[in-house]
Amino acid sequence: TATVNQMQSHAVIVDMAISEGGNVQDSQHDEVVVARNGVKIINESGYPKVLPKQASLLWSKASLYFITKVSQDPALIDLKPI
């Protein structure tokens, strides 16, 4: 609680360990808790299941963007051996 109280207003904490009891004292299972100073504590128990999929989607999007740019201008990459 002391750490949360020292944080700036409108800061956000995502407690990803809520299904095991949580890492933040004020955590409530599957609820968003707003501390007195305006700090939001997000306690979604499904994040560990969702994040790998989101990370894969972001990686594939970034890779597609990179490949598209390089295919338009191959000079963007120096393929000479070091």
What pLDDT is recorded for position 38? Answer: 92
In the Cβ-directed half-sphere of 22, how many Cα atoms lie within 13 Å? Answer: 20
Pairing of β 12-14 and β 40-42: parallel
What pLDDT is recorded for position 75? Answer: 78
Distance CA 39, CA 33 (A): 8
pLDDT digit string (tens) for the chain, length 82 residues: 788 889 998 899 988 888 888 888 878 888 888 988 999 998 888 776 777 888 888 889 999 998 888 888 877 777 777 6
pTM above 0.85, yes or no: no
What pLDDT is recorded for position 19? Answer: 82
Distance CA 70, CA 1 (A): 49
- CA 74 to centroid of chain Cα atoms: 33
Q: Between the CA of residue 71 and those of 4, 8, 62, 63, 64, what are the distances in Å?
A: 48, 45, 14, 12, 10
